[in-house]
Each structure stands twice: as C-alpha cells, then as structure tokens.
Structure 1
Amino acid sequence: MTEWTVHGTRRVYESEWMSVDLDDVEVPQGERFEHHVLRLPFPSTGVVVIEDEKVLLMWRHRFTTGAWGWEIPAGRLEAGEAVETAAIRETEEETGYRVGTIEPLITFNPLNGISSTTTHIFVGTDAIKTGEPDPAEAARIEWVPLNEIHSYIRKGLIPCGITLVALNTYLTLRASSGPA
C-alpha cells in the first residue's frame, strides 16, 4: 500500500473560519488531479453531558440542511485554547450548564476524504445550571433519558453526524463496560 502524493496546494478561499484548497495529488496508480480540501484552523469539541441516566441535548434548526434535530453542545476552539477548556466553554455558552468534570471519549475526523478537521468528544458530568442557553444556539434544552436515544436516532431526530458519533460511541462503550 502506498500513500497519495501531494505535489502542491492552491488556496481558492480563506476566512477566519475555514479555507478551501485545491491540492495537486497523485494516486498510487499514477493518476494526477486536483482535489478539493476544506481546512479549518482549529479543531472542534463536543460534550456528552450525563446525569442520572440522562443526556443533555439541544433542539436546534440548521439552515444549511433546513432540518431541526437534537444535538450535543459542540463548537470550535479559540486560538490558543485547550480542547478541554473549549468543551467546557461551549457547553456553558450553548446550554446554560457548566460541567464540573470531563473525560475524553473519542477523537475523530468527520469528513476525512475532503477535510483535515478533527473533533474531540468528551463525557461531561457534575453539570450545574449557571444561566440560560444562547437562543441563537438552541430553541430548547432537555435532559433526554439515555434509553430513548436509539428511538430518537431511528426516528431521524438526531441528524447531526458529530452527535450521532458521540452518542453511539458513549452508548456502545457504556454497554461493554457498564454505566460511567
């Protein structure tokens, strides 16, 4: 097995949130072409907040897909910010709850065929209500029983890929090792 060869990169768009590049690549069989790559300057974080067999979820609308759905709190790091700090900050900003403890759950790349971005997911516990959620982030916040998550997924109520990976990973690992 050999790796693709990158001969160069041409930036076609850049903002503080992302860049879009055309990478000049060559596949092992010898074909050479330009491949679009979305690059984000900072990783993302998400938190599966657990309390009393329930998970904290946000009901929100995504204009990009025109769909409503349940999501975990998530967002990008600020310059120089640690992933744990960003996870705690994003949870509080988006939900009005501050987690007291976070543990790493999974790190993954949600679009590794076209993007270099990485998402770090944590499990948060000891949540304390500190204020109201940001109305731009969520229409409502609810503690959803963990035993209802698979039903929500089957009904299409959790369309967010990051949330699906986070919740399925949490539930799978929990089932194999017992409650957190």
Structure 2
Amino acid sequence: MMRWQVNSKRTLYRDQWVHLQTADIELPDGRHLDHRLIETGPGAGAVVVKDEKVLLLWRHRFITDTWGWEIPIGGIEHSETPEEAARREVVEETGWQINGRMTPLVYTQPSPGLMSAEHHIFLGDGVQYLGEPHDNFESERVEWVPSGEIRSLIQKGDISAATTLVALLYALSQQIIR
C-alpha cells in the first residue's frame, strides 16, 4: 500500500489564517521525511454567468508578483455554509448579489501535497448590482468578461490561479460557458 504514515506533527507557526507544521512522515519503504504542511480553513466561491459573460476580478497577487483574472472566492466563516460564504464573497468582492440559484459546480483541493485548502465552487445565477465592492482593495477592477474569451485568457496566462482554472475549465467542459 502506498499510503504515507504521519508519525507526528509539530507547530512551527499559527495565526487566524494559517497553521504551519512540520511532520514526521514514514514512506511505505520505511524511510522518513521531515515534511512541511500548511493547514487553512475551507473556502467558497462562484462562477457567476450573465448574458454569456463571466464575472471576474483583475487582481495582483503580491506573493508571485503577478496579475490575473480570478473568480470571487474567500474563506468560509464558522457559522456559514459553503453556499452562504460564496454568496457573501461575491457581494463583498464584486458589488453584485446572486439572487438566483447557487448550484454546486466543483470541489477542489488546489495544492494537496502542501496544504489542506479545500474550495467549494458554485455556479451563480440571477444577479443584481448593489454598488461598489465592500472589499475594494481585493482587485483593480471587476468586469463581465465574454465567456468566448476565457480560453484565450487561459492560453495567455491571464487566468492561472488554480481554483479559478479548475472552475472555468470545468464550466467549459460541461458547456456551462462557451
């Protein structure tokens, strides 16, 4: 059996967003690794579609010093369901409110070899503009991007964030967007 055994874990750092640990891992052949892992809370977001356009945020990620298009996504608060969190994040990050259905679209673990992050992504339907985003520091701009441009944005590298890629590629594969 190829399962790695966790013999022990030790905290290196912890705050409200992240828990960095070192783990003594035993491989199936008996060797040991000193492995790092990052535990984070779950996240939720949405692919929001209206009139053959997808609601995206153009944002800078300081860690990689890159710009790209992303779907609205954020952490699930303790009292929220993933759907409630996705609805809240869409409003906070874009200023648009989903009034219609929220259909589960895809579940993803963006980097399971390093972190525990899990993302619940929904398809949002029926939106209404409320005004400027509450979290206007999240992105440089919010736009309705024609769904026909998604493939070329991926090819150019303008869409590269793992969860956004998974969600949009899945939506394309299911012909939810074209």
TM-score computed with the length of structure 1 as normaliser: 0.93
Alignment deviations for residues 4-37 of structure 1 (CA, whole Å, 9 cap, x no partner): 1111110110000010111111010111121101
- Give SS of 1:117's match: coil
| Distance in 2 of aligned mates of 1:33 and 1:62 | 31
User: How many pairs does the alignment contain?
Assistant: 176
Matched AA of 1:72: I
| Distance in 1 of aligned mates of 2:14 and 2:66 | 27
| Distance in 1 of aligned mates of 2:70 and 2:2 | 38
- Residue equivalent to 2:103: 103
In the TM superposition, 1:41-80 aligns within 5 A as: 42-80=41-79
- Residue equivalent to 1:85: 84
| Distance in 2 of aligned mates of 1:108 and 1:72 | 14
Q: Percent identity?
A: 44
Matched AA of 2:11: R
**Residue segments in structure 2 that go unaligned for 5+ positions in a row:** none
- Give SS of 1:70's match: strand
Q: Shift of the alpha carbon at 1:81?
A: 1.3
Alignment deviations for residues 46-89 of structure 1 (CA, whole Å, 9 cap, x no partner): 21001111100111111111111111101011122110000000
In the TM superposition, 1:1-180 aligns within 5 A as: 1-40=1-40, 42-100=41-99, 101-133=101-133, 134-174=135-175
TM-score computed with the length of structure 2 as normaliser: 0.94
Matched AA of 2:88: R
| Distance in 1 of aligned mates of 2:177 and 2:31 | 50
* Segments of 4+ moved more than 2 angstroms: none
